[in-house]
């Protein structure tokens, strides 16, 4: 039975006469799938609700395989993703969001422990694709292209793969064993990674390697510079180089007191890393207040727990060999930090600058047709394609949010469009269903189930090493946490409609097949609609001749 979404009406909006039931039925129910807010918010495009349902039933490997359709590194993402899916989770408005990232980490770690593998989905196509950069976006694109049957070669300028996952995220947040294992799983699909291979002439490399298409994802590895008068420039480091050196074991000499300038996640990581490298005191200087900092709140909380101090509303004016002169700022009526003309001096043996990152796209300037924004990011269209046919780009080097998950999503999207382009077709994404928000749910069953929290190493022990500070969930905890999902917008066969229908107009179709309506019996009373906990039923106006 067809219907027009514009005809959908909430029965409560109608008078008793207008509603009509039985022979004068004005509306009838239909089963309909909607979009859960977790799926909608995921930058990697995961079908979160689908793999949560599999975890609920104990089908852990199937759940992992479902994740792997969209994201090749769940053990990584379960640790470093800032989980916007949980921010949007409807359960957040009741007793706390489902801990989606913790369940994803559980599946990712279980896959590593049991050596689960994925397979190539298509026969070899004979097509060759060059990927520039072995960071999250490049690895994601390579993975998806390999599963589509293409031969992928990655040119990576550095000595190891991983990009900012390896050099920008400290080991206490992302252990290297898990990262390396998930990279090697991608390699096992036939992806070739050529290390220490910098690309200077893209078109020449494309021609020389006989590549049919290119995906460029070089990342943002250049720290932004600001002009701070300093008598001893050697006392000033950039955060990206500092974190890279620390990751590689090349510990820089910092001194006892280390200042970090900036308010983002990189600043928090630099300060926490300095503490682990032996600094007696690590403090952050940020020109705005906490409400306006770009760092995620939990990042700041963890830094503070580890003894990092944060000097809000301070701007650096100059630095000498043992101190930093800062100006005290004040917020104006619009919340913008303004100088006050008041100064103070802070002791510091070294200063780490964490004021943002840029991407080095100079090697693309010689490619006619590629266009850039003023910040040197590359302009791409909705298919991640540059202005040059066959050259695509993604990750931090295109205008977007700079997170690992966003970069992985770019890689998947680009892979689909590259595959379509190679096949002389177009990739057209399926239209999204309507979004289900909390007020559309009818939660009538027992919901007293608080979130299972991951254990943390005590703050006083964290700075003694780079050991991972967050523990994962065990099988019982992960299964319980998955069972907290409301299945927003999609029928999970609770039998609520079946039991509530006074006319026995609902027919069960068997496990996994949901239900259907017998409209010869249905009176349009809307009882099924009003009790459906996940809002998988709509009332549709009858079509009258």
DSSP class of residue 327 equals: E
Write out the two tokens for 176: 């290297």
Q: Round to whole Å and give the CA distance between 157 and 167.
A: 13
Same domain, 161 and 281: no
Cα 527 to its chain centre, rounded Å, is 39
Q: Round to whole Å and give the CA distance between 195 and 315.
A: 40
Q: How many CA atoms lie within 13 A of 111 on its CB side?
A: 30
| 172-219 pLDDT, tens digit each | 999 999 999 999 999 999 999 999 999 999 999 999 999 999 999 998
- Has residue 496 been placed in a domain? yes
Same domain, 302 and 201: no
Q: In the prediction, which pLDDT does 22 show?
A: 59
φ, ψ dihedrals at 101, nearest 5°: -65, -35
Judge whether 86 and 98 are in contact, CB under 8 Å. yes
| 139-151 pLDDT, tens digit each | 999 999 999 999 9
Number of domains composing the chain: 4
* CATH number for position 83: 1.10.1060.10
- Note down pLDDT in tens along the chain; length 545 residues: 343 444 444 554 544 434 556 567 889 999 999 999 999 999 999 999 999 999 999 999 999 999 999 999 999 999 999 999 999 999 999 989 999 999 999 999 999 999 999 988 899 999 999 999 999 999 999 999 999 999 999 999 999 999 999 999 999 999 999 999 999 999 999 999 999 999 999 999 999 999 999 999 998 888 888 888 776 666 889 999 999 999 888 888 899 999 999 999 999 999 999 999 999 999 999 999 999 999 999 999 999 999 999 999 999 999 988 899 999 999 999 989 999 999 999 999 999 999 988 888 999 999 999 999 999 999 999 999 999 999 999 999 999 999 999 999 999 999 999 999 999 999 998 899 999 999 999 988 767 788 989 999 999 899 999 999 999 999 999 999 999 999 999 999 999 999 999 999 999 999 999 999 999 999 999 999 999 999 999 999 988 65
Same domain, 198 and 142: yes
Q: Round to whole Å and give the CA distance between 539 and 31.
A: 9
- Has residue 435 been placed in a domain? no
Same domain, 228 and 331: yes
Same domain, 144 and 111: no
For the sheet with 337-347, list strands across it.
Answer: 314-319, 323-331, 337-347
List the domain range (segments joined by +) for residue 343.
224-357
Give the 3-state secondary structure of residue 506. Answer: strand
* CATH number for position 511: 3.30.70.20
Q: In the prediction, which pLDDT does 25 show?
A: 84
Same domain, 173 and 279: no
Same domain, 254 and 335: yes
Same domain, 180 and 79: no
Write out the two tokens for 224: 């932004």
Phi-psi region of 121 (alpha: psi -120 to 50; beta: other; left: phi over 0): alpha
Q: Please state whether the predicted TM-score (pTM) of the whole model is above 0.85.
A: yes
DSSP class of residue 342 equals: E
Give the 3-state secondary structure of residue 517. Answer: strand
């Amino acid at each position: 039975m067809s219907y027009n979404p514009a005809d959908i009406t909430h029965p409560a909006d109608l008078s008793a006469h207008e509603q009509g039931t039985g022979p004068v039925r004005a509306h009838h129910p239909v089963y309909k799938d909607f979009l859960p807010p977790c799926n909608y918010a995921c930058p990697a495009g995961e079908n979160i609700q689908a793999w949560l349902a599999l975890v609920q039933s104990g089908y852990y490997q199937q759940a992992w395989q479902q994740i792997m359709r969209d994201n090749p590194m769940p053990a990584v993402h379960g640790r470093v993703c800032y989980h916007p899916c949980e921010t949007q989770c409807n359960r957040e408005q009741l007793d706390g969001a489902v801990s989606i990232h913790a369940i994803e980490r559980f599946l990712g770690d279980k896959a590593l422990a049991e050596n689960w593998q994925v397979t190539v989905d298509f026969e070899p196509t004979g097509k060759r694709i060059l990927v520039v950069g072995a960071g999250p976006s490049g690895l994601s694109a390579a993975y998806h292209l390999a599963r589509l049957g293409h031969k992928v070669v990655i040119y990576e300028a550095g000595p190891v793969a991983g990009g900012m996952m390896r050099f920008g995220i400290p080991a206490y947040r992302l252990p290297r064993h898990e990262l390396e294992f998930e990279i090697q799983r991608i390699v096992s699909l036939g992806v070739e990674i050529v290390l220490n291979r910098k690309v200077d002439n893209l078109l020449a490399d494309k021609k020389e390697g006989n590549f049919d298409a290119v995906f460029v994802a070089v990342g943002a590895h250049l720290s932004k510079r600001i002009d701070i008068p300093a008598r001893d420039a050697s006392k000033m480091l950039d955060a990206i180089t500092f974190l890279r050196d620390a990751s590689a074991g090349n510990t820089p000499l910092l001194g006892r007191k280390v200042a970090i300038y900036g308010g983002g996640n990189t600043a928090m990581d630099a300060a926490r890393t300095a503490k682990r490298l032996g600094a007696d005191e690590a403090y952050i200087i940020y020109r705005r207040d906490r409400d306006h900092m770009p760092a995620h709140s939990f990042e700041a909380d963890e830094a503070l727990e580890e003894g990092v101090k944060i000097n809000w509303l301070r701007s650096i004016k100059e630095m000498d060999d043992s101190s930093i002169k800062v100006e005290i700022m004040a917020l104006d009526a619009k919340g913008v930090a303004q100088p006050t003309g008041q100064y103070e001096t802070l002791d510091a043996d070294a200063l780490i600058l964490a004021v943002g990152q840029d991407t080095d796209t100079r090697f693309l300037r010689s490619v006619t047709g590629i266009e850039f924004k003023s910040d040197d990011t590359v302009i791409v269209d909705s298919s991640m394609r540059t202005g040059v046919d066959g050259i695509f780009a993604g990750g931090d080097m295109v205008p977007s949010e700079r997170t690992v998950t966003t970069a992985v999503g770019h890689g998947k999207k680009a892979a689909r469009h590259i595959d379509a382009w190679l096949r002389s077709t177009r990739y057209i994404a399926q239209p999204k269903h309507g979004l289900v928000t909390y007020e559309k749910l009818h939660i009538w069953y027992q919901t007293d189930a608080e979130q299972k929290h991951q254990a943390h190493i005590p703050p006083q022990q964290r700075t003694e090493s780079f050991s991972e500070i967050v523990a994962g969930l065990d099988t019982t905890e992960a299964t319980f946490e998955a069972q907290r999902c409301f299945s927003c917008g999609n029928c999970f066969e609770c039998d609520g409609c079946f039991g509530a229908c006074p006319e026995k107009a609902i027919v069960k179709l068997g496990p996994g097949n949901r239900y259907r309506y017998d409209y010869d019996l249905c009176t349009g009373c809307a009882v099924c609609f009003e009790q459906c906990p996940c809002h998988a039923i709509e009332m549709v106006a009858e079509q009258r001749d």
